[in-house]
Amino acid sequence: MRYVARRMGLFVLTLWAALTVNFLIPRLMPGDEATAVLSRMKGVNPAALHALQVEFGVNTDQNIVVTYLQYLGNCLTGQFGLTAARVPVMTDILDKLPWTLGLVGVTTVIAFAIGTMVGVVSAWRRGGRLDSILPPLLFIVSTLPVFFVALVLLYVFAVTLGWLPLASNYGLGSTPSLSLAFTWDVIVHAILPAATLIIVTAGSWIYTMRNNMVTTLAEDYVRMARAKGLPGWRIMIDYAARNAILPNLTGFAMQLGYVLGGSILVEYTFSYPGLGYLFYTGTTDHDLPLQSALFLVYTLAILICVLIADFASALLDPRTRDA
Amino acid sequence: MTTPAISPGASALIEGPAQRGPSASRRFAQAILRNRKATAGILILAVISFVAAFPGLFTNINPHAAIYDQQVGPSAQHLLGTTQVGEDVFSQLIWGTRLTLLITVVVSLAATVISILIGVTAAYVGGMADRSLSLLTDVFLVLPTLPLLIVLTAYLPSGSLTITAVMIATSWAFAARQLRAQGLSLRTRDFLEAAKVRGERSSYIIIVEILPNMISLLVASFLGLAVFVVGFAAGLQFLGLGNSTELTWGTMLYYSQQNGALEAGNAVWMLAPGAAVAVLGTGFALLNYAFDEIGNPALRPVRRRRVKPSA
């Protein structure tokens, strides 16, 4: 219970830190510079500019503590103001959220499953054919820059071979519906972005899982299980893999931060209209409210996953519960 | 006693009291040379460093001279073709090496230093300071780096200095946590007790007694950071968040993307700097992988197949 409480503490603290960073950055800049940034925003009329100046604490004589509390309250109730295009930020975000959630969620699960399984088997058959090829190869591949993998896939499969679409989340002619044709269209458009994310993340899962397994297989309880004459697959899964997977669960959240960051680059390269692409357009439009809100969304996503990973490792490993 | 959660690779990197002198370093050099991955990594980095130091030896074309045919593919005169305004891509690639490598090394070194300051201090001082520094590390570990960078670079003046500073500030946390774990396991060693009894100052103990014993983990942290930073810096510049007037592989990628090089049939312009980034990253990664194997004998490849225990 203390463990859970401590992790909740980290959750609240990090969220607060992210909120405060968002609040402070525009205020730490000299006032005229803030105005300059604000005025670079697309199509802002004087009245809207004044509203933004109030929002960012420029040219106002309001007490900073009062503004800060107001800001925290607004964030907690999901009021992030308007984007440069005068649409509520939340509407824009909720509109794009499913695409990123689908892309990142599915690829993370696939990469974790592939990576963990290959890692377990290659450590079990140490020095075998699978072990000497896949882990080193995929480790090197996983260190390639995300966008480079994306560009190569785009070049080979979309530009040169023309097998898969160049960009976007579904074809221009399609209208969103639950029909089979539309679902297929969405899947075809998602293949390259998803493949990129899987290629760059599976390797590190394999690497850590294999190394954890190698260490675990040398433990006395594994030798004990062998002495008892248990079948090989039971030792591999119930004795070794179950313990070796624990560090991977904790690494899960950290990996997710990397995947989310990578998904921004992937969505940009493939013009996939999810949150990452929205983030990118926010930088070109100097759309500050949108960017701040998106930063919070990404932080919150990671924090939730950290919590889930914590609960999962508490379930699997009794030792963490009273640590 | 607390059992710090360190990766199996890191735990094997703990050494006894610092072994100095030629024998230890020669043994280490031999281990590096005997490891094929390490040799390949060192070779890659040596070649890239050489190009960064003496770009003039490889090309006599000015990378900023927009005087050639525009958007043409590779030819004998222009090995990698030209850009949309008629600059030589090969020359840009060669001259862009310097700043790319410089940013990577500076960020990785500085982040390693910060992780030492925070991680090792937390482990050595302990108590309340440790708890607050660990919490700080955890918060930085969780904050999503790229989104934070995008938000920060939106307000700060664009340029390599901004990217460098912001990347340093956001990438130290993981190494700090590893160093803290390592530091905790060193804290109760006899030679540290001896130093304390001698009445040495904390700063002396940390710098002279603890750090030399962490040297392999420090190198591993640096290499791991470098792998990350190479791709990350290029990714930022690719998004257009760098200073697009400075010549790096990342800004080359930015321009080629902006001008639709892939679709315009001038793919080399985009793939060449991308491949260069990938090769540099691979160089650091190979060295890092080899380092894990040297530091942790359990992970070394086994030459012959083991006899199956069940058979």
Higher pLDDT, A42 or B13: A42
Write the CB contacts of A35 (distance below 8 Å, at least 6 apart in sequence).
A53, A58, A59
- Residue B11 covered by a domain: no
Average pLDDT, chain B: 77
Which percentage of chain A shows pLDDT scores above 90?
Answer: 0
Q: Which SS3 state, helix, strand or coil, does residue B165 take?
A: helix
At residue B208, what are phi and psi to the nearest 5 degrees?
Answer: -90, -30
Higher pLDDT, A222 or B76: A222
Separation CA B137–CA B101 (nearest Å):
27
- Residue B233 covered by a domain: yes
- Residue B12 covered by a domain: no
Q: Which of B279, B216, B286, B246 is nearest to B12 (CA)?
A: B216
Residue A34 pLDDT class (50, 70, 90 cuts): low
Q: Determine contact: A211 vs chain B, CB below 8 A.
A: yes
pLDDT of residue B106: 92
Residue pLDDT, tens place only, B116-146: 889 888 888 888 888 888 888 888 887 888 8
Q: Tally the domains of chain B.
A: 1
**Per the structure block, which two tokens stand in for A236?**
């591999």
Chain A neighbors of B297, CB-CB under 8 A: none
In this prediction, residues B44-55 reach a mean pLDDT of: 86
Cβ neighbour number for residue A224 with a 10 Å cutoff: 12
pTM value is: 0.77
Return residues 61-120 of A near B (CB < 8 Å). Answer: none
Distance from the Cα of A177 to chain B's closest Cα (Å) equals: 31
Higher pLDDT, A16 or A323: A16
- Residue B274 covered by a domain: yes
Nearest CA in chain A to B286: A140
In this prediction, residues A36-58 reach a mean pLDDT of: 61
Residue pLDDT, tens place only, B216-241: 788 888 998 998 888 888 888 888 87
pLDDT of residue A174: 63
Identify whether the C-beta of residue A262 lies closer than 8 Å to the C-beta of residue A205.
no
Select the residue from A159, A205, A295, A306 to test the B interface by mutation, using most B Cβ atoms within 10 A: A295
- Residue B182 covered by a domain: no
Nearest to A159 among B154, B262, B306 (CB): B262
Chain B neighbors of A126, CB-CB under 8 A: 302, 306
Dihedral sign for Cα atoms in the order A96, A98, A102, A105? positive
Are the beta carbons of A37 and B155 separated by less than 8 Å? yes
Are the beta carbons of B289 and A212 separated by less than 8 Å? no
pLDDT at A247 over 70: yes
Radius of gyration of chain A (CA): 24
Return residues 153-182 of B near A (CB < 8 Å). Answer: 153-155, 174
Nearest to A261 among B146, B227, B257 (CB): B146
- Residue B192 covered by a domain: no
Residue pLDDT, tens place only, A97-150: 888 888 888 888 888 888 888 888 888 887 777 777 777 777 778 778 888 888
Return residues 148-167 of A near B (CB < 8 Å). Answer: 148, 151-152, 154-155, 159, 166
Q: Which of A57, A58, A51 is nearest to A35 (CA)?
A: A58
Residue pLDDT, tens place only, B97-110: 888 889 899 999 99
Are the beta carbons of B271 and A17 separated by less than 8 Å? no
Nearest to A257 among B144, B239, B299 (CB): B144
Identify whether the C-beta of residue A216 lies closer than 8 Å to the C-beta of residue A187.
no
- Residue B230 covered by a domain: yes
Nearest CA in chain A to B257: A269
Helices (H) and strands (E) in chain A, counts: 14, 0
Q: Which contiguous run of DSSP H or E holds residue B43?
A: helix B36-53
pLDDT of residue A323: 47
Nearest to B231 among A18, A145, A288 (CB): A145
Q: At how many degrees (to 10) do helices A89-124 and A242-269 cross? A: 140
Q: What is the DSSP string of A75-92?
A: HHTT---B-TTSSBHHHH
Quote the domain boundaries for residue B109: 25-118+129-134+143-173+217-299
- Residue B201 covered by a domain: no
pLDDT of residue A320: 63
pLDDT at B72 over 80: no
Average pLDDT, chain A: 77
Identify whether the C-beta of residue A292 lies closer than 8 Å to the C-beta of residue A22.
yes
Are the beta carbons of A146 and B155 separated by less than 8 Å? no
Q: Determine contact: B305 vs chain A, CB below 8 A.
A: yes
At residue A300, what are phi and psi to the nearest 5 degrees?
Answer: -60, -40
Residue pairs spanning A and B at CB distance below 8 A: 168
Separation CA A164–CA A272 (nearest Å):
14
pLDDT at A42 over 70: no
Identify whether the C-beta of residue A274 lies closer than 8 Å to the C-beta of residue A99.
yes
Which percentage of chain A shows pLDDT scores above 70?
Answer: 77
Q: Which SS3 state, helix, strand or coil, does residue B262 take?
A: coil
Are the beta carbons of A152 and B274 separated by less than 8 Å? yes
Residue B113 pLDDT class (50, 70, 90 cuts): very high
